[in-house]
A and B are shown apart, each in its own frame.
Chain A
Amino acid sequence: MRYLPLGPDDRAKMLGVIGAKSVDELFKDIPQKARITGLLDLPMHAGELQVERTLGAMAAKNRAAGAGPSFLGAGSYRHHIPSAVDHLIQRSEFLTSYTPYQPEVAQGTLQFLFEFQTAVAMLSGMEVANASMYEGGSSCAEAVLMAGRVTGRSKAVLSGALHPHYRDTVRTFCQFSPVTVEHGDPVIDGVEDLAGKLGPDVACVVVQTPDFFGNLHDYTKLGAACRAAGALLIVVVTEVVSLGALKSPGQMGADIFAGEGQSLGVGLNFGGPYVGLFATKKQYLRQMPGRLCGETTDADGRRAYVLTLSTREQHIRREKATSNICTNSGLCALAFGIHVSLLGEEGIRRLAALNHAAAVQLADALGAIKGVKVRNKTFFNEFTVELPGSATDVVEKMVGQGVLAGVPVQRLYRDRPDLANLLLVAASETNTDADRTAYVAGLKKVLA
């Protein structure tokens, strides 16, 4: 076995030192009833070539998004990742290290986490960010639980334009907590009265921009209303590239920002691993979930970084911790950080502008097709179109045209047949003019 260095001689010598007759003697504490006699009913070990063949065959059964025109979003976006990102994250020292519990030999990880926290805080316009969460939906759920702790209140009001999977994740996380969750019907055109739902029991209002249907919002007034009512405003961003173009959650007065960082550095990965972003105001620092990296000095007075404020965390506080989270999404945070570093101020703005332009061009082209209506007045790189028939059927037929045409809204709202004709369409810098032409031509054919 290529990964197992010990041989029969080694094992015999080691057993001799231990004073055991056989390896099985070391397993004597396992009740006989639970022991496996012989081998598991699974294939025997395999060489690299065999494994590559088997997994390669499985991979080949999938249509890679980049194998042709692709316009899927709904919380996961395809962007070009600079080559340097993947090379750097595969540095052994990043890839095969663990949580920086011994800061003297983990300054590499700690420094990038400190830079990641800085970048997330800057992009979101918030004061402090943590060292990452698993992914966006659970980050949002943790934000809601945190709002409950901060305010001592028990109701979370969710926008009807919040990503339905985020809504569901919040509900799951809260179902056995003191926090009850209230959410409205899907809000396709972006207009809803959330301030009207504020009351003495409301801990937080959770909104998203660009929202699930692509509409853009300025939540400044809602933030003020929340403050007046003693509730926290949680702003969710599922497409972090939008922060290169749009007013940030912090600029709108958000108390907590919860987001998905997958767009930068991470890739599609069929849904994971991704990287959850989480930021808030300094005053709520001690109620934050997750790891935090802080600056300090070493015994020689040199600048150093270290995990800090861990009295919030499970390994110290146990059942009184702010969250049960331990492992986070470190390597994806690194990928995010490297991508952001490469982009810089100018790059993120340029990338955002390219995304917006690609979406505008696509929306204009699709809107010109007979029977197709773009539902958004505002959008960043994703919008909702209304088709003359079932979006699910159209998407299936468009696969035959070589185009991944978008995400049918009903895939996420199964119980809403009235939304059956709505399709979420996203465009990015990866889409070419030819992609757009193929989409338009394909859609015309499919609708004909």
Chain B
Amino acid sequence: MKTDTVSGNRGLDLEEPLLFELGRKGRTGVDMPDAPKVASRLGGLEREGEIGLAGVSEPEVIRHFVRMSRNNYSIDANLYPLGSCTMKHNPRLNEKMARLPGFGDVHPLQPESTVQGALELINTLGHWLKTITGMPAVAMPPAAGAHGELCGMMAIRAAHEAKGDTKRTRVLIPESAHGTNPATAAQCGFTVDPIPGNERGRIDLAAVKAKLGADVAGIMLTNPNTLGLFENEVIEVAQAIHSVGGYFYADGANFNAIVGKAKPGDMGVDAIHINLHKTFSTPHGGGGPGSGPVAFSAALAPYAPLPMVVERQGRFHLIEHRGDKGEPGEKSFGRMRTFNGQMGMFVRALAYMMSHGADGLRQVAEDAVLSANYIMASCKDDMTSPFPGPCMHEALFDDRFLEGTGVTTLDFAKAMIDEGYHPMTVYFPLVVHGAMLTEPTETESKESVDRFIHVLKSLAKKAKSGDAQFFKDAPRYAPRRRVDETAAARNPVLRWTPPAPKAQAAE
């Protein structure tokens, strides 16, 4: 290990061992009374041997996690241009609301009479989502975008099967799609038929039409698409897929670009998941939890998952089982999680929506799209984009501007880290060489975006000036230099294990 200080620390940058290396026998961070003596009902199944957990006091735990946290980049610290992830500001009001005991400390199986406000909140959020998408129904259970995709595609399969149509095995998916789309289709028993893009970065409508047939269950289309462009022939795609009895699943990952500006319901969409952790700002939390409600067309609505909230004469009910004929949930494809939904995320998302209102949500899309186009236009002399603008809320660059410099997209990204920026999404979409998908979001000021643009342009110029090594050595100023991903995969170490006894270790 090479460090230039005795401790390994560098100023405020403190090295932190694993919790398990800090632990000492007998220490704890929680005081509890002795358990009353009772006649055990454990039936002789008591756990034997040590579990192995570390004993640590509260101050040690606080320091441990605070020190670790300081090794993370965050939206609260700086612009986070991760394309397709919509890293926007996370209002703290939303955190406060989610922690109200009336939302946070409510059991999912409390009697209906004691959770009317919780059901009302779900119903209200559902109303906002239906209005925003222009769709007649919404399923609230999905825990994330991919879970939402599963929800939508299961409804599509259930709808076909309800008509006795079991021969629809094929799903059309653009080559530029998120990996979750083909993975979801496969998980629902479909085969994936990839559709190429056209020279404008949109789905090739002629290719869609050529692939149509009685075995097509539907299409999964991200719109705006993963190249940051709006699929301007979306209505024609919908008509084509409907003409053979298929359904249109829309991946709503990029919904932030069109919220308040356009409704998927007017584009012929049958199902669309909305990532509440993207468009509606529930915090990403280092990779989750998310929430992915799915808006449905009238054709798919009957197959929505359980449980569902219904309102009758001002009272709210939770439908937890398939209903009798004509009742809600009669044709539901079933339950896809243990309990009701991501309530904590629902509260945050509704607080966000109410804060913005109809006027603010529209402004969200406009500012997000404006900022992305501003970046694309500002960088056009120094970087290259595979497709001309205007783009939606993401500016996509490729690596042609790095041609012959010896600098790769990855090197460029790592140099951004030294400049204090989290890189944009790199090498996705796969169909663009050395892709850099850049999403500033609407919550950046112009000054912030200008600083970012200045860094991008300066790094691009530096790359072209021939100093490839500068990029290869990056990052220099992050908590870690480049990490060896190959070694991690070759010999997976996925947990801490106690060190070997000293006598052996000394060898």
Check if A and B associate.
yes
Q: Are B377 and A94 closer than 8 Å at their CB atoms?
A: no
Residue of A nearest to B132 (CB): A40
Instruction: For the complex formed, measure the closest distance between the CB of B199 and the CB atoms of chain A, giving whole angstroms.
Output: 15
The complex places the Cα of A416 from the Cα of B472 at a distance, in Å, of 66
B36 at interface by CB-CB < 8 Å:
yes
B240 at interface by CB-CB < 8 Å:
no
Question: In the complex, which residues of chain B have a beta carbon less than 8 angstroms from the beta carbon of A44?
Answer: 357-360
Residue of B nearest to A27 (CB): B261
Interface segment among B21-29, B293-301, B458-466: the answer is: B21-29
Q: Are B487 and A319 closer than 8 Å at their CB atoms?
A: no
The complex places the Cα of A364 from the Cα of B480 at a distance, in Å, of 57
Interface segment among B57-65, B207-215, B397-405: the answer is: B57-65
A314-B179, A344-B28 known; A414 vs B321 contact (CB < 8 Å): yes
Interface centre among A52, A117, A329 (most CB of B within 10 A): A329
The complex places the Cα of A35 from the Cα of B361 at a distance, in Å, of 14
The complex places the Cα of A407 from the Cα of B287 at a distance, in Å, of 33
The complex places the Cα of A275 from the Cα of B344 at a distance, in Å, of 13
Q: Are A138 and B147 closer than 8 Å at their CB atoms?
A: yes
A378 at interface by CB-CB < 8 Å:
yes
Q: Which of B177-195 contact A (CB under 8 A)?
A: 178-180, 182-189, 191-192
A297 at interface by CB-CB < 8 Å:
yes
Question: In the complex, which residues of chain B have a beta carbon less than 8 angstroms from the beta carbon of A121?
Answer: 495
Q: Are A92 and B74 closer than 8 Å at their CB atoms?
A: yes
Interface residues of B, dominant DSSP:
loop
Interface string of A21-51 (1 = CB under 8 A from B): 0010111111101111001111111111011
Question: In the complex, which residues of chain A have a beta carbon less than 8 angstroms from the beta carbon of B96?
Answer: 52
A343-B28, A351-B32 known; A294 vs B493 contact (CB < 8 Å): yes
The complex places the Cα of A299 from the Cα of B417 at a distance, in Å, of 15
Interface centre among A128, A251, A344 (most CB of B within 10 A): A344
Question: In the complex, which residues of chain B have a beta carbon less than 8 angstroms from the beta carbon of A134?
Answer: 143-144, 147, 288-289, 337
B230, B262, B444: the one contacting A36 at CB < 8 Å is B262
Question: In the complex, which residues of chain B have a beta carbon less than 8 angstroms from the beta carbon of A218?
Answer: 45
Interface centre among B180, B183, B260 (most CB of A within 10 A): B183
A17, A31, A59, A105: the one contacting B72 at CB < 8 Å is A105
Residue of B nearest to A88 (CB): B65
Chain B residues within 8 Å of chain A by Cβ, number:
208
The complex places the Cα of A204 from the Cα of B379 at a distance, in Å, of 56
Q: Which of B82-99 contact A (CB under 8 A)?
A: 82, 85, 87, 89-91, 93, 95-97, 99
Question: In the complex, which residues of chain B have a beta carbon less than 8 angstroms from the beta carbon of A59?
Answer: 97, 100-103, 117
A63, A78, A92, A415: the one contacting B77 at CB < 8 Å is A92
A4-B360, A43-B354, A324-B149 known; A103 vs B42 contact (CB < 8 Å): no
B72, B305, B359: the one contacting A109 at CB < 8 Å is B72
Question: In the complex, which residues of chain A have a beta carbon less than 8 angstroms from the beta carbon of B185?
Answer: 319
A46-B355, A102-B423 known; A138 vs B337 contact (CB < 8 Å): yes
A112, A135, A243, A302: the one contacting B339 at CB < 8 Å is A135
Question: In the complex, which residues of chain B have a beta carbon less than 8 angstroms from the beta carbon of A41?
Answer: 131, 358
Q: Are B76 and A326 closer than 8 Å at their CB atoms?
A: no
The complex places the Cα of A3 from the Cα of B368 at a distance, in Å, of 12
Question: In the complex, which residues of chain A have a beta carbon less than 8 angstroms from the beta carbon of B105?
Answer: 64-67, 78, 267-268
Q: Which of B41-78 contact A (CB under 8 A)?
A: 41-43, 45-48, 50-56, 58, 61-62, 64-66, 68-77
B442 at interface by CB-CB < 8 Å:
yes
A269 at interface by CB-CB < 8 Å:
yes
Interface string of B331-342 (1 = CB under 8 A from A): 001111111111
B137 at interface by CB-CB < 8 Å:
no
A4, A165, A299, A361: the one contacting B364 at CB < 8 Å is A4
B350 at interface by CB-CB < 8 Å:
yes
Question: In the complex, which residues of chain A have a beta carbon less than 8 angstroms from the beta carbon of B428?
Answer: 315
Interface string of A90-114 (1 = CB under 8 A from B): 1111111111111111111101111
Q: Are A308 and B485 closer than 8 Å at their CB atoms?
A: yes
A45, A70, A296: the one contacting B107 at CB < 8 Å is A70
Q: Which of B1-57 contact A (CB under 8 A)?
A: 1-3, 16, 18-20, 23, 25-30, 32-43, 45-48, 50-56
Question: In the complex, which residues of chain A have a beta carbon less than 8 angstroms from the beta carbon of B357?
Answer: 42-46
Question: In the complex, which residues of chain B have a beta carbon less than 8 angstroms from the beta carbon of A407?
Answer: 109
Question: In the complex, which residues of chain B have a beta carbon less than 8 angstroms from the beta carbon of A91?
Answer: 65-66, 69
Interface string of B397-418 (1 = CB under 8 A from A): 0000000000000000110010
Question: In the complex, which residues of chain A have a beta carbon less than 8 angstroms from the beta carbon of B62?
Answer: 84, 87-88
Q: Are B481 and A104 closer than 8 Å at their CB atoms?
A: yes
Q: Which of A59-80 contact B (CB under 8 A)?
A: 59-67, 70, 72, 74-76, 78
Question: In the complex, which residues of chain B have a beta carbon less than 8 angstroms from the beta carbon of A379?
Answer: 41
A31-B235, A52-B97, A343-B28 known; A102 vs B413 contact (CB < 8 Å): yes
Question: In the complex, which residues of chain B have a beta carbon less than 8 angstroms from the beta carbon of A156?
Answer: none
Question: In the complex, which residues of chain A have a beta carbon less than 8 angstroms from the beta carbon of B496?
Answer: 114-115, 118
Question: In the complex, which residues of chain A have a beta carbon less than 8 angstroms from the beta carbon of B334?
Answer: 168-169, 171-172, 175
The complex places the Cα of A379 from the Cα of B56 at a distance, in Å, of 30
Residue of B nearest to A74 (CB): B109
A205 at interface by CB-CB < 8 Å:
no
Q: Are A122 and B445 closer than 8 Å at their CB atoms?
A: no
Question: In the complex, which residues of chain A have a beta carbon less than 8 angstroms from the beta carbon of B487?
Answer: 296-297
Question: In the complex, which residues of chain A have a beta carbon less than 8 angstroms from the beta carbon of B120?
Answer: 58, 61
A5, A10, A301, A321: the one contacting B183 at CB < 8 Å is A321
Q: Are B77 and A300 closer than 8 Å at their CB atoms?
A: no
B34, B266, B305, B340: the one contacting A272 at CB < 8 Å is B340
A76-B109, A84-B29, A356-B42 known; A111 vs B61 contact (CB < 8 Å): no
Question: In the complex, which residues of chain B have a beta carbon less than 8 angstroms from the beta carbon of A305?
Answer: 483
A271 at interface by CB-CB < 8 Å:
yes
Interface segment among A194-202, A224-232, A331-339: the answer is: A331-339
Q: Are A360 and B494 closer than 8 Å at their CB atoms?
A: no
Q: Are A334 and B495 closer than 8 Å at their CB atoms?
A: no
Q: Are B373 and A273 closer than 8 Å at their CB atoms?
A: no
A-B contact pairs, 23 of them (CB 8 A): A26-B370, A31-B232, A31-B234, A62-B103, A65-B106, A65-B110, A84-B58, A84-B61, A98-B87, A99-B85, A114-B18, A129-B494, A173-B336, A177-B189, A270-B103, A272-B341, A272-B345, A294-B492, A306-B488, A317-B179, A330-B285, A350-B28, A396-B111
- Top 9 nearest A-B pairs (CB, nearest first) are A271-B339, A59-B102, A331-B285, A61-B117, A271-B108, A92-B76, A342-B29, A273-B289, A137-B338
Q: Given A86-B99, A315-B178, 17 other A-B contacts at CB below 8 A?
A: A5-B448, A6-B442, A14-B374, A40-B358, A45-B357, A107-B479, A108-B70, A134-B147, A268-B104, A272-B108, A272-B340, A298-B482, A301-B1, A348-B51, A356-B42, A380-B42, A399-B111
